[in-house]
Structure 1
Amino acid sequence: MAAPCYLGWDFSTQQLKVIAIDEQLRVIYEDNVHFDKDLPEFKTQGGVYIHSDRLTVTSPVLMWVKALDMILEKMKSSGFNFSQVRAMSGAGQQHGSVYWKKGSTQILKNASSELPLHQSLKGCFSVSNSPIWMDSSTASQCRALEKALGGAQHLASVTGSRAYERFTGNQIAKIYSQNPEVYKQTERISLVSSFAASLFLGAYAPIDYSDGSGMNLLQIWEKAWSKPCLDACAPGLEERLGCPVPSHSVLGPISPYYSQRYGFSPDCKIVAFTGDNPASLAGMRLQEGDIAISLGTSDTLFLWIQEPTPALEGHILCNPVDSQTYMALLCFKNGSLMRERIRDDCASGSWDEFSKALSSTAAGNSGNLGFYFDVMEITPEAVGIHRFNRDNQKVSRFPKEVEIRALIEGQFMAKRIHAEKLGYKVLPRTRILATGGASHNKKILQGL
């Protein structure tokens, strides 16, 4: 009998990925389908459609289903033994939403194993192109939601975030106001994560607490939908969303479709899928007091928090690992591109020179501090380069090595200040886990 294994899925913006691990957490199989390259018939760019207004950004739902068909066929061709899979779970890009047409639950449940799944489901979606996290077309819906809830701070206190254009509640409100007939035909609304779980379950999978707290709809304290938020977005919304569940819930056995078509064991369990950001916190095995920082094109901070204080900047989400605690998420646009620009200006484009400059200056930078925003920052909403000397006077320039340290210390100081505003407390046992491109530079990490 084959050794047990477990599958993890990632329905991300540009590709679908799968990984299989054994009971010792060793990777025994991985593969991916790249949407632009492997599914050219959908004509996406970067896995998405950017519409003519430049604000509306969507992805075709059937592309995600067809990618799943394709990756399972690749696994089958490679000789992968599906019968050894005991359970699976996964992640989806946060904030994307999928709209199931009335009657789709029966089609999903009774899909013929003779056909690829995308053929059975092609008529199941009332909205064929799903709004995703890159969409910023719902400014008026955001203003209306904040007004209905008594202001941005009150909305954040209830749902963990002020109104954001990509958040699902505002996307649903836009669909309802622009296409009430389409909304009327919709019997279920999934997030990308719960949609993906639904495909494997053969039934509508519930939204999990963590991904659900990125919708401007979930009361993060009670773990239930907020009636005022639902009412402000669309009528009859609660029945279309279903009941949210803890992120580690076992939802049930795999759909018979997969046993018949691919040879999965009927006992294979489907565990709730969650959003990509909560999945990162779980995957990095964060514990109470830990900080994870991704130093990429944008810098992202993940924090495990016991007693959060939701603010107008950043997000508080339910913790996917422990439903009694929370995770905070802070995103900073001016990450690696800003560091690379200062490297080019002050260190001849060399990371070695950049590191030497950091070594040649003392921690604290003799009181010189800078904040560097080439593009409009998310947290805080600011742009431009702002330098201050030891007397707190604004100055126009620093010597090159001072500039480099001012950049790094300013970036990390800002992260700590905004984290503490959300209720984060540095503990004696605090660990900082760094990932992303800049985490390879030891001198930058010393700034942490």
Structure 2
Amino acid sequence: MAAAVHSPLYLGFDFSTQQLKVVAMDGNLNVVHQNNVQFDSELPEFRTQGGVHLHADRLTVSSPVLMWVKALDLLLDKMKRAGLDFSRVRALSGSGQQHGSVYWRRGASETLKQLDPDQNLYQLLQGSFSVSDSPVWMDSSSRQQCQDLQAAAGGALRLAEITGSRAYERFTGNQIAKVRQTRPEDYQDAERISLVSSFAASLFLGDYAAIDYSDGSGMNLLDIRTRNWSEICLEATSPHLDRLLGAPVPSESVLGPVSSYFVRRYGFCESCRVVAFTGDNPASLAGMRLQRGDIAVSLGTSDTVFLWIQQPRPALEGHIFCNPVDWKQYMALLCFKNGSLTRERIRNECAGASWENFSAALRDTPLGNNGNMGFYFDSMEITPPAVGVHRFDPDDNELSSLSPQVEVRALVEGQFLSRRLHAERLGYSIIPGTRVLATGGASSNKEILQVLSDVFNAPVYTIDLSNSACLGSAYRALHGLAAESGVSFCDVVKKAPDPQLVATPHPTAQEVYGRMLKRYARLEERVLQETRPRSMAATTDQL
């Protein structure tokens, strides 16, 4: 028992949109402490709604930087009152909501290095930010800057080839360009620009923390192949911007020891190391413990697909980031708006509002649905940008309706064919040993997961993703120390509970869905052509 009391701990923080969360993990990957601070309810003086300020133009969305600082004060005090022994912490890491930017005022670096442990961070950093409210991922007010960046790069696809994504309004480079153009005095007063992740790491480090490759990939500024800032993108955003950003680093980098402020105020060990923080999506990939060739599918209100890929093929849809647990590899992210709500609508209309009947329809219809196929975009889809319901018979004739059981299978097969098609377009390929990790509400339905397994011709496992970004950050803290000795991330997390196998592909699945995938791609292009005017407008709106 005495050994357990003094065994090492690893902390993982997540500075998310609505709250600040933390987990403490021991060396056996057991979570021994969890805590959080809810921004709206516990810090009401900042008057946020859902952790953000919604501005009058309905496009501008920001969050107060000092709210995040005060939340950290509050969280650490909660942990201390709960009896957490900070002297046991050997390393810490964290994540931040992707695409947010923090502007440190001139002189803030010296302030960080001389923090008085008798005062809290909120008091000490009052004057340290030239922009008090940070642009965050929900902001959509930088359309002009997106257009300028794409023009400078040689078009949207060329920009995607360089940075992993076409220009998006929420991406940090475009937000920086907007701040420089609309608030020149505040921009000139900044001596460093951080992401939310590297800002949080800076607090613990007592110095400006480097941006890691993975979160840096979500800025429209990093060349994802050279892993350096793109000169073309920097010049289009702001001259000499690299001086404000600092040099990016591999995601497993140990940045240095924790600041003496935390040693003296909270009792951290002087040898505790700060591992580079990353974005919440990359941290979630780490929390899911994806391996080479794996794909994770979150089946929620929106369906999100996380991919581990080796050779990226950037496109106008989706995002490619540097991999947070192996900097020589890549991860991709795809979001599909029409997920569980569409499945619920078809359940209500075709299965008597019963998931049992819905599942029976999937069991009672054959793989491939006798050639019947459907596209179900109740609202304007993100990937691809199309809208409407489109049904096709085996001869590619469009139909106005299908029988209820056939409609159920057409929906589920169509959704997963879409997930696979667009994953492969970004560079994903099924290899021996590929696993599909399923999470989210619909992952409790075994018949839905059987279709997922068949379409991808790979076994499907379920995984609990509660606090995945925090857990991934704690894993990364441990990996940061081990990586210095050449230990891989997969070796570090091998003690974690294994995902549960729930479905294996039918022997004929590869033959059936290999043909269907080609046909689906052809019909999707036809649907896009039919909805092109609306799709083009939506694409512009979603920049």
1:78 has 2:108 as partner: no
CA shift at 1:270, angstroms? Answer: 0.3
CA shift at 1:341, angstroms? Answer: 1.9
CA shift at 1:241, angstroms? Answer: 0.3
1:13 has 2:26 as partner: no
Aligned pair partner of 2:193 in 165, 184, 189: 189
- Which whole-Å CA distance do the structure 2 matches of 1:405 and 1:136 have between them? 36
**Alignment correspondent of 2:368:** 364
1:247 has 2:239 as partner: no
RMSD in angstroms over aligned alpha carbons?
A: 1.0
- Which whole-Å CA distance do the structure 2 matches of 1:230 and 1:433 have between them? 37
1:172-200 deviations in whole A, cap 9, x for unaligned? 01111111111100111111111111110
- Which whole-Å CA distance do the structure 2 matches of 1:418 and 1:47 have between them? 32
Q: Give unpaired runs (5+ residues) of structure 1.
A: none
TM-score, length of structure 2 as denominator length: 0.81
CA shift at 1:322, angstroms? Answer: 1.1
What secondary structure is seen at the aligned counterpart in 2 of 1:88? Answer: strand
1:325-363 deviations in whole A, cap 9, x for unaligned? 111111111111221222222223222222122112111
**Alignment correspondent of 1:446:** 450
- Which whole-Å CA distance do the structure 2 matches of 1:441 and 1:54 have between them? 38
CA shift at 1:293, angstroms? Answer: 1.0
1:46-98 deviations in whole A, cap 9, x for unaligned? 11112111111111111111111101011111111111000001111111111
TM-score, length of structure 1 as denominator length: 0.98
Number of matched pairs: 448
- Which whole-Å CA distance do the structure 1 matches of 2:236 and 2:67 have between them? 31
**Alignment correspondent of 1:208:** 212
**Alignment correspondent of 1:109:** 113
Equivalence map 1:267-282=2 (5 Å): 267-282=271-286
Task: Report the identity percentage.
Answer: 66
- Which whole-Å CA distance do the structure 1 matches of 2:171 and 2:193 have between them? 13
What secondary structure is seen at the aligned counterpart in 2 of 1:19? Answer: strand
CA shift at 1:254, angstroms? Answer: 0.3
**Alignment correspondent of 2:169:** 165
1:60 counterpart letter in structure 2: P
2:18 counterpart letter in structure 1: Q
Moved more, 19-28 or 428-437: 428-437
- Which whole-Å CA distance do the structure 1 matches of 2:130 and 2:109 have between them? 13
1:407 counterpart letter in structure 2: L
CA shift at 1:271, angstroms? Answer: 0.3
**Alignment correspondent of 2:358:** 354
**Alignment correspondent of 2:505:** none
**Alignment correspondent of 1:430:** 434
What secondary structure is seen at the aligned counterpart in 1 of 2:218? Answer: coil
**Alignment correspondent of 2:340:** 336
**Alignment correspondent of 1:325:** 329
1:252-283 deviations in whole A, cap 9, x for unaligned? 00001111111111111000011111111111
What secondary structure is seen at the aligned counterpart in 1 of 2:151? Answer: helix
1:62 has 2:62 as partner: no
Aligned pair partner of 2:313 in 309, 325, 334: 309
**Alignment correspondent of 2:388:** 384
**Alignment correspondent of 2:151:** 147
1:158 counterpart letter in structure 2: I
Moved more, 68-77 or 344-353: 344-353
Aligned pair partner of 2:49 in 45, 51, 54: 45
Q: Give unpaired runs (5+ residues) of structure 2.
A: 453-543
- Which whole-Å CA distance do the structure 2 matches of 1:362 and 1:222 have between them? 47
What secondary structure is seen at the aligned counterpart in 1 of 2:331? Answer: strand
- Which whole-Å CA distance do the structure 1 matches of 2:256 and 2:344 have between them? 48
CA shift at 1:17, angstroms? Answer: 0.5
Moved more, 318-327 or 240-249: 318-327
2:380 counterpart letter in structure 1: M
Higher helix proportion (structure 1 or 2): 2
What secondary structure is seen at the aligned counterpart in 2 of 1:213? Answer: helix
- Which whole-Å CA distance do the structure 1 matches of 2:196 and 2:349 have between them? 41
- Which whole-Å CA distance do the structure 2 matches of 1:403 and 1:265 have between them? 60
2:60 counterpart letter in structure 1: T
- Which whole-Å CA distance do the structure 2 matches of 1:134 and 1:341 have between them? 27
1:402 has 2:403 as partner: no
- Which whole-Å CA distance do the structure 2 matches of 1:72 and 1:322 have between them? 30
What secondary structure is seen at the aligned counterpart in 2 of 1:33? Answer: strand
1:26 has 2:17 as partner: no
